[in-house]
Amino acid sequence: MGKAFGVVAGVGAIGSLVAMKKSWDPLPSVKAAGFTTVDVSGFEANALVVEKWRGKPIFILKKTPEMVAAQSEEQTARDIKIGDDSYLVCIGLCTHLGCIPAYAADETVFKCACHGGEFDASGIDILLPPPSPMPIPPFKVDGTNLVLGEEGPEYLKMKEAGVTA
C-alpha cells in the first residue's frame, strides 16, 4: 500500500515537473527566430569569416584602415562599426542566381565562379550579371558581439537609409 502510494506520488511529481518545464521554455517565436551571436574580437583584418544564420552563409569581413580610407560614401554607408573597426556583414549569396562568391583577399573582391559576377569588399556589385549588392541581414551590435537576426538601432538606421537590400 505504502509502495503504491509512493509510485502515484512519484507520477504526480513528474507531472508537475513537466508542467513547470513548459513554463520555463522560451516562446516558440524566440526559438524559431534563430539568433546567431558571433564574437568578432579575434578577427583578422581582410580575412573573410563565414558564419551560418538561418541556413544561409553570412560573410563577415573586418576591413583594414587602408580599405576604409579608400572607400566611397556608398561603400562606407554599408560598414558596420564594432568598436573602432569597420566590418562588412552580408548574406554571402550572389544576387544573380545564388552561388556563393569566393573572396580574393589580394584584390579585396568577391568573385562568383558561376557566371563571373563580382562584388567589392562592401558587398556592392561591380561586375555583371549580379543586379544588386549582397543584402545585409538584420543585426545588433552588443559589445564585441554581432547578433545576427536581431534588428538593432544600427541596422534600423541602415535600413532606413536603404543600404541593407
The residues that touch ligand FES, with contacts defined as CB under 6 A, are 94, 96-97, 99, 112, 114-117, 129-130
Cβ contact 103:50 at 8 Å: no
Q: How far is the CB of 81 from ligand FES (least distance, A)?
A: 29
Q: How far is the CB of 75 from ligand FES (least distance, A)?
A: 20
Q: How far is the CB of 101 from ligand FES (least distance, A)?
A: 7
What is the rounded CA–CA span in Å between residue 46 and residue 35? 25
Q: How far is the CB of 95 from ligand FES (least distance, A)?
A: 8
